[in-house]
């Protein structure tokens, strides 16, 4: 009887693990946590500070957020060429104002999540030059670098962020 109960508990544990905590599920959850850090950062920046830059001639803070969005969409166009037009619409929405950037970050993050889900679960998409895990790693690396550039731009312009933001983006 004890063995039967143990067997049933193991099956229940394994099935719940494989459903919620599969590698694909963990990757998607990590992507969403990563994007929440981008959102935490932009929400902690005053609108007028989006014009800050770390060096004359370089992208300002708003342009750096736009760059994050554009790189996401550039890769999505390559991976899912038939959906290119819907990706273009996102780039053209709004401008460098904070609400538009937040909206575009959320919308493009959802598209990335869908692409990752398709790539990880069905291999749907044009994954010849970039597999789903490399795509995931590339975006996190690129966007983390951009967050550093954004924080540097703000700091050098005399607009340091609160510790709630600078430490909060590491609270995964």
Dump the DSSP string for 83-101: GHHHHHHHHHSS-SSHHHH
- Helix spans in 44-123 (H): 61-79, 84-92, 98-121
Q: Are 130 and 5 in contact (CB under 8 A)?
A: no
Q: How far apart are CA 86 and CA 68, in angstroms?
A: 17
pLDDT at position 119 is 94
Q: How far apart are CA 140 and CA 117, in angstroms?
A: 16
pLDDT at position 7 is 58
pLDDT at position 129 is 84
The per-residue pLDDT for range 6-45, each reduced to its tens digit, is: 556 555 555 545 546 899 999 999 999 999 999 999 999 9
pLDDT at position 13 is 53
What is the pTM assigned to this prediction? 0.84
Query: By percentage, how much of the chain surpasses pLDDT 70?
Result: 85
Q: State yes or no: pLDDT of 102 exceeds 90.
A: yes
CATH of domain 2-170: 1.20.120.450
Q: State yes or no: pLDDT of 74 exceeds 60.
A: yes
From residue 167, alpha-carbon distances to 12, 37, 147, 162 in Å are 38, 10, 13, 9
- Which of residues 83 and 15 earns the better pLDDT score? 83
The per-residue pLDDT of the chain, averaged, comes to 88
Tokens found for residue 18: 């494989």
Q: Are 114 and 98 in contact (CB under 8 A)?
A: no
Nearest 5°: the CA angle 67, 72, 75 is 120
pLDDT at position 64 is 96
pLDDT at position 105 is 96
Q: How far apart are CA 80 and CA 26, in angstroms?
A: 23
């Amino acid at each position: 009887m004890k063995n039967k109960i143990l067997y049933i508990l193991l099956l229940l544990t394994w099935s719940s693990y494989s459903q919620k905590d599969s590698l694909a599920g963990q990757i998607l959850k990590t992507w969403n946590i990563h994007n929440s850090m981008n959102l935490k950062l932009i929400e902690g920046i005053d609108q007028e500070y989006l014009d800050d830059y770390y060096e004359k001639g370089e992208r300002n803070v708003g342009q750096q957020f736009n760059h994050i969005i554009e790189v996401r969409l550039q890769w999505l166009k390559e991976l899912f060429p038939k959906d290119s037009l819907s990706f273009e619409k996102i780039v053209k929405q709004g401008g460098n104002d904070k609400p538009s950037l937040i909206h575009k970050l959320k919308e493009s993050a959802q598209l990335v999540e869908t692409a990752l889900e398709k790539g990880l679960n069905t291999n749907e998409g044009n994954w010849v030059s970039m597999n789903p895990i490399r795509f995931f790693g590339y975006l996190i690396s690129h966007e983390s670098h951009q967050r550093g550039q954004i924080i540097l731009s703000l700091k050098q312009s005399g607009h340091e962020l609160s510790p709630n933001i600078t430490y909060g983006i590491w609270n995964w």
